[in-house]
Amino acid sequence: MFDWFAQFGNKTIEFFARLGKEVLLFIQTVLAFVPLLLRPALIVQQLFSIGVRSMLLIIVSGFFVGMVLGLQGYNTLVDFGAEESLGVVVALSLVRELGPVVTALLFAGRAGSALTAEIGLMKATEQLSGLEMMAVNPVERILAPRLLAGIISMPLLAAMFSAVGIFGGYLVGVDLLGVDEGAYWSQMQAKVDFDQDIVNGVIKSVVFGIVTTWIAVYEGYTCVPTSEGVSGATTRTVVYSALVVLGLDFLLTALMLE
Amino acid sequence: MSEADNNLVRIRNLHFSRGHSKIFNGIDIDIPKGKITAIMGPSGTGKTTLLKLIGGQLKPQKGTIHFHGENIPAMKTKKLYEVRKKMGMLFQSGALLTDMSVFDNIAFPMREHTELPEVMIRDMVLMKLQAVGLRGARDLNPSQLSGGMARRVALARAIALDPEMILYDEPFTGQDPISMGVLVQLIRSMNDALELTSVIVSHDIQETLAIADKIYIISQGKIVGHGDPQEMNQSDSPWINQFVHGEADGPVPFHYPARSYKDDMLAGQ
């Protein structure tokens, strides 16, 4: 009985100790953004490997998601004779929800897993230790530029996803199914609100950018430095990111629709 | 000059444990300036841990580690990073940054810590590479290097900022005889030419005895013997004798603790 109690207490203390360490590390990483601004080359390098390298995946996915939205939206709308609103349906779905959420999920799979594996292997091969002994703080040199690059990349990638998706919806809706071109664009222009829809979508993708990149970087930095440890950490990055993104999306949407 | 002034590093009453296992149980070590000090002991006695303690990557539960008269475990992060610029460390794996060439690896600490123009960095990198005989390998990637070459590149990087002290973690492990000879010679000549203080952690007896000025032998968290190589070779302690001469059985038993052989075999029926 007391054993169970002691174990419960132990686990609770451990949990909060870990949480505290993680928050501390996060603060240290964010504080390291300031000196980082003096060395833009480090950020640009990471923007390339995190952001630019994810573009192909994001653009192709966005295109297909947009085309599917065009097909599905048209099928439903045409029953009510409202197919002219197709542009609004496609644009709102993408800008408010699918753009930020699907981009974040794809980002976690493409860039997040790569980040965790990279940092985890640097730890396993003593490169992080080596940096410390060269008096270079790995939090400043390795974690901070990657986190910042992730935060910058995510909203840009989400914007590309939405833009390409809207174009995909246009191809299917207008060119294939014969929705009026003028209606597609003008309804979209009239009904998509900048503050309500676009800004909220951008806020979401910034939040997802912070969360997914942080999970990736943290899992890599704290992984067990063995091949098993790195593989486990990589899996956790993708799983945690997906769960946290979907959970947070619900929370943010609820707050925004208030 | 008194003896205290001669020591670059002074470790006193160091205690360190990981979980429930005690790794160091009150050890005292003096590392004299300008000399090569070897710390030896069987695998798993925490030799690498000791280097990490000296480098401030781990904190001891008790005891002091004075470097230039300042206690490393008590340092704030910023101060610690300042002090590390005076230390170089050679990792067993080399720990080269795999995403850059040999040249950039050696230039890395210079670019991070100095404002030197690129022309000057180039000259300095080539000088360091020349010292380890790998000037021709500057454009290779770390993955293209053999184990021995990687360790020499790592050595060149360790001396990039002209440190006062170099910590070597098992420099001879897994090297072929030629690379081994090269490393032994490099460690000795660098120590003397650059007026360094070297600390070697190793269990390769012959190589280490050949170049060390002072030797400490650790076992089970304690210092079991120290002295110069001559004294170690002629020691009458059975433990040191077993270690130095590589005997299979002795104070360190060949068998892992178990119940009696007979009981164990009969228990299977």
Per the domain annotation, does A141 fall within a domain? yes
Residues recorded for chain A = 258
The predicted pLDDT at position B2 comes to 45
pLDDT at B207 over 90: no
Kind plus residue range of the DSSP H or E element containing B208: helix B205-211
For residue A141, list chain B residues with Cβ-Cβ distance below 8 A.
112
pLDDT at B104: 93
Q: What is the mean pLDDT of residues A225-252?
A: 95
pLDDT level of residue B175 (50, 70, 90 thresholds): confident
Predicted confidence band at A89 (pLDDT cuts at 50, 70, 90)?
very high
DSSP H helices, chain A, are 2-31, 33-36, 40-46, 55-79, 86-92, 99-107, 113-124, 127-133, 138, 144-170, 181-191, 200-221, 227-257
Residue type (1 letter), A216: A
For residues A9 and A115, membership in a common domain is answered with no
Residue A206 located in a structural domain:
yes
pLDDT in tens, A48-69: 999 999 999 999 999 999 999 9
Cβ–Cβ contact B162 with A under 8 A: no
Predicted confidence at residue B1, as pLDDT, reads 40
CB B250 within 8 A of CB B235: no
- Which residues form the domain of A8? 1-31
Alpha-carbon distance A168 to nearest alpha carbon in chain B (angstroms): 38
Q: State pLDDT tens for residues A71-82.
A: 999 999 999 988
Which residues from A are below 8 Å from B96, CB to CB?
127, 130
pLDDT digits (tens, 9 = 90+) for A161-201: 999 999 999 999 999 998 999 999 999 999 998 888 999 99
Nearest-CA distance from B218 to chain A in Å?
Answer: 24
Interface ipTM > 0.90: no
Which residue, A173, A154, A155, is CA-closest to A66? A173
On whether both A87 and A11 belong to a single domain, the answer is no
Is residue A24 domain-shared with residue A53, that is, in the same domain?
no
Q: Is residue A83 part of a domain?
A: yes
Q: Considering only CB atoms, which chain B residues are within 8 Å of A130?
A: 89, 91, 95-97
Q: Give the pLDDT confidence score for residue A61 in this predicted structure.
A: 96
Chain B CB contacts of A135 below 8 Å: 81-82, 84-85, 109, 112-113
Number of domains, chain A = 2
Residues of A whose CB is below 8 A from B112:
134-136, 141
> Does B122 touch chain A if contact means CB atoms closer than 8 Å?
no
Give A17→chain B minimum CA distance, Å. Answer: 16
Q: Are residues A201 and A160 in the same domain?
A: yes
B133-136's contacts with Cβ under 8 Å and 24+ in sequence apart are: B133/B182, B134/B102
pLDDT band for position A148 (cuts 50, 70, 90):
very high
Q: Could you tell me if residue A227 is inside a domain?
A: yes
Q: What local confidence, expressed as pLDDT, does residue B185 receive?
A: 87
Residue A241 has a pLDDT of: 95
B93 in contact with A, Cβ within 8 Å: yes
Instruction: Please determine, for residue B30, whether its predicted confidence score (pLDDT) is greater than 80.
Output: yes
- Work out the average pLDDT over B144-164: 88
**Do A168 and A143 have their domain in common?**
yes
Same structural domain, A51 and A21: no
Contact call for B93 and A132, based on CB within 8 A: no
pLDDT the model gives residue B5? 66
Contact flag A125-B157 (C-beta cutoff 8 Å): no
Question: Given an 8 Å threshold on Cβ–Cβ distance, is A134 in contact with B81?
Answer: no
Q: Any idea what DSSP says for residue B169?
A: E
Does residue A38 form part of some domain?
Answer: no
Q: Do A217 and A105 lie in a common domain?
A: yes
Which chain A residue lies closest to B81 (C-alpha atoms)? A135
CB contact under 8 Å between B81 and A137, yes or no, is yes
Residue B95 has its nearest CB partner, among A127, A137, A141, at: A127
Average pLDDT along chain A:
93
Question: Do A26 and A51 belong to one domain?
Answer: no
Alpha carbon of residue A202 to chain centroid: 11
SS3 state of residue B37: strand
- A141 and A167 share a domain? yes
Pairs of residues, one from chain A and one from chain B, whose beta carbons lie less than 8 Å apart: 52
- Compute the average pLDDT of residues B142-167: 89
Verify whether the Cβ–Cβ distance B113 to A135 is below 8 Å: yes
Give a yes or no: residue A147 inside a domain: yes
Q: Would A36 be classed as within a structural domain?
A: no
CB contact under 8 A, B109 and A141: no
**Same-domain check for residues A14 and A109:** no
Confidence of residue A27 (pLDDT cuts 50, 70, 90): very high
Which pLDDT band, with edges at 50, 70 and 90, does B4 fall under? low
Does the CB of B85 have a partner CB in chain A at under 8 Å? yes
Chain A nearest-CA distance from B1, in A, is: 31
Task: Please state, in angstroms and rounded to a whole number, the distance separating the CA atoms of residues A97 and A148.
Answer: 23
**Chain center to CA of B177:** 20
Average pLDDT (B201-208) is 84
- A51 and A22 in a common domain: no
- List for chain B the helix, strand, coil content (%; round to 5): 40, 25, 35
Q: Which of B57, B77, B161 sits opposite A129 (nearest CB)?
A: B57
Residues 17-76 of B with CB under 8 A from A: 52, 55, 57
- Given A127, A130, A135, which is nearest B85 (Cβ)? A135
Is the model's pLDDT at B134 over the cut of 80? Answer: yes
Residue A137: inside a domain, yes or no?
yes
**Does B88 lie at the interface with A, CB-CB under 8 angstroms?**
yes
For A157, other C-beta atoms within 10 Å of its C-beta total 29
User: Is residue A87 located within the same domain as residue A175?
Assistant: yes
Cross-chain residue pair A127–B97, CB shorter than 8 Å: yes
What token pair was written down for A102?
């699907």
pLDDT at B50 over 50: yes
Can you give the pLDDT at residue B25? Answer: 87
Model confidence pLDDT, tens digit, residues A105-147: 999 999 999 999 999 999 998 899 999 999 899 999 999 999 9
Q: Residues 96-115, chain B: which have Cβ within 8 Å of A?
A: 96-98, 108-109, 112-113
